[in-house]
Every structure is written in C-alpha cells, then in structure tokens.
Chains A and B, each alone.
Chain A
Amino acid sequence: DAKTTQPPSMDCAEGRAANLPCNHSTISGNEYVYWYRQIHSQGPQYIIHGLKNNETNEMASLIITEDRKSSTLILPHATLRDTAVYYCIVRPTNTGNQFYFGTGTSLTVIP
C-alpha cells in the first residue's frame, strides 16, 4: 500500500544540506506526510510530519509543494550520524494509525 516514490540512494558531504525528495502524486486531502529514518539495525526514528504547510523542528525541515504531490526533507547541516535509510510515508487521518513504509532512500554522509 506504499504510496511514495523515493530515490534508492543519495550521498551528501558532511556539513552540507541534505535534500531528500519524495513523490506522493496520489496523495489525498486527508493524508499526512511523515518522515522517519532508520539507522542500521535500530528501530525507525520519527523526524517530522506535515499536512499542507511547511514544517520545521530541531532535526529537519519539511517542504511540501502547493499541490501536495511531492515533498522534500531537508537536513540543514548533515553529520556522519545522519547516515541512515530515510522513509517518506503518507498516512490517512481517518482510517487508523497504520503506516505503510515505502522503499526509502539510503543516505550516506561523506566526510
């Protein structure tokens, strides 16, 4: 039921911004966009989520296009500890709390 498309892998230089794209062209009006990351063999970690507006927290920024068909997760100053698989998930608000993970993007931060 994954409704997202992400590039399988990306590299980013340490200290630079990492911009991770996600396509969710079939998203409907009541579906949130969530981002999680999973560092090797650990449980997924919540990063950020949004519905329509751009969001920012201490970890990242989420930019959602006006038509909501795509979004970008921005890690402003990537560190080696940001090396992980990043998952973009769309989740409806009215059919329960279940998440269906897509294939994710493996981000490697290079020294």
Chain B
Amino acid sequence: DTEVTQTPKHLVMGMTNKKSLKCEQHMGHRAMYWYKQKAKKPPELMFVYSYEKLSINESVPSRFSPECPNSSLLNLHLHALQPEDSALYLCASSPSGPMGNEQFFGPGTRLTVL
C-alpha cells in the first residue's frame, strides 16, 4: 500500500463549527505533515510530526490543532475558523531520517469556511 488517504474530500463548515480532517498511511512512515494550499499558490508547511511527536509548528494559529494518535494516523482539528482559512489541506508522509526521502502526498481535503 503506497497511498496516503485523506477524508473527507470536501468539507463546508461555519465559523462556529468544530470539525476534523483525517489522514492515514500504511507505508510504515514515521514522519507526517500537514500543508495548506490557497488557490494558485504553492503548498505551505503547517506541521511536522516525527515518531508521533510534533517537531515543527510553522507559527500556525491555535484554531488549527494537530494530533498524531499513532504512527499511521494524523488528524487536524479545526475550531472557530475564518473564511480566509478556506483552502486545500494536504497531508504527506515520508520515512523518517536524515537521508533524502520523498514525501508521499494525499489528494487533499478542500475546506470551505462560511
């Protein structure tokens, strides 16, 4: 299984809602990532987990809360989002370690905040 899956594919939420994005991989990768991509812009790194521990937070607002419950699963909990948070949210995974390692990306969740 060389795939990263993300659910849901699309999500529409109001500014007072709480929702979660889910990402899963079964490649034995120990590093997982969340990226945010606005229309016609490159992906922007948000969070990096290494061995289920948060290793990088790129100064992301606290209304985005990541969670890595086990080595295969990565969640992004959303609360009190703003319309400008509407974007494609991409998850990726890679083998951990210092050597050059490709990242495998999921198809993304298209989020719309009303």
A residues near B, CB below 8 A?
2, 32, 34, 41-46, 49, 51, 87, 91, 93-94, 96-104
In B61-114, which residues have CB < 8 Å from any A CB? 88, 90, 92, 94, 96-108, 110
B25 within 8 A of A: no
Report the bound CA distance from A97 to B103 in whole Å.
Answer: 8
Q: Which residues of B contact A102 (CB under 8 A)?
A: 42
Given the complex of chains A and B, what is the CA–CA distance between A99 and B105 in angstroms?
12
> Chain B: residues with CB nearer than 8 A to chain A?
4, 31, 33, 42-45, 48, 50, 55-56, 88, 90, 92, 94, 96-108, 110
> Dominant SS at the A interface?
loop
10 further contact pairs, Cβ within 8 A, besides A46-B102, A97-B97: A32-B100, A34-B102, A44-B43, A46-B104, A51-B100, A93-B98, A97-B48, A98-B33, A101-B43, A104-B42
Q: How far is the CA of A87 from the CA of B35 in the complex (A)?
A: 15
Q: Which of A2, A34, A99 has the most CB of B within 10 A?
A: A99
